[in-house]
Amino acid sequence: MRKLIRPNAPNFLTEKLQIELGERYKKNREKNKGHQFNYWHTEKVGESTLYKEIRNKLIEISDDHCFYCDGYPPLSDDDTIDHFKPKSKPEFYDLVCSWENLYLACGHCQKAKGSEYNDLILRPDEINYEFDKFFKYDSDNDEVIVNLGADDLSQLRAEKTIEVFDFNHVGLKKLRGFFRKVYSQDPQININDLGYRFCLNFQQTI
């Protein structure tokens, strides 16, 4: 999970609109469990839709990398918008279009996280979040591991985050190994053209 800085909400996603859409979804969802949040596909922003424009803004933040695993480039089921606090949980209905709750996610992370939520899960744009503070990179195995030098709560959060996103899935480990190889062969390459940027500088065994 690479640190990200989230700018303020884009102008078209006003505070008023965030609240209005949240309230509308909450009201409808409470009446009908099967109600789907699809307003952002019909809500217009110029010639485009709210969904597309929000997604574009999220893409700018991470250079089109998954906010959680930093996977890149996006494939067909990637680049979707994840609700960090799941829209399926009644306590979060009103956050369904809240800027701070929207994350660009790849298919792997969407599937791994599902509708799981607890306060321990780290966010890449959380204040004071730094990869090194919570994690270490084991370059022998291409695994993200807990920083055992961190305090107990940070270790617990790191452990939970690795588990929820299944960061050490065999496919992700292989991809990180691949990108590290590409980077070591051409250190001048633009790292934004590579995936899993947080692991690229870890060349030594921990």
- Residues at the interface with Zn ion (CB under 5 A): 66, 68-69, 71, 106, 109
Residue closer to Zn ion by CB (options 39, 131) is 131
Handedness of CA 119, 120, 123, 127 (dihedral sign): positive
Residue closer to Zn ion by CB (options 45, 112) is 112
- Tell the smallest beta-carbon distance from residue 90 to Zn ion (Å): 26
Q: Are 97 and 9 in contact (CB under 8 A)?
A: no
- Tell the smallest beta-carbon distance from residue 25 to Zn ion (Å): 25
Report CA-CA distances (Å) from 57 to 8, 47, 88, 99.
11, 16, 24, 10
Calculate the dihedral angle through the C-alpha atoms of 94, 100, 105, 111, rounding to the nearest 10 degrees: -40
- Tell the smallest beta-carbon distance from residue 12 to Zn ion (Å): 26
Bridge partners, 82 (sequence order): 103
- Tell the smallest beta-carbon distance from residue 105 to Zn ion (Å): 6
Residue closer to Zn ion by CB (options 66, 95) is 66
Residue closer to Zn ion by CB (options 54, 172) is 172
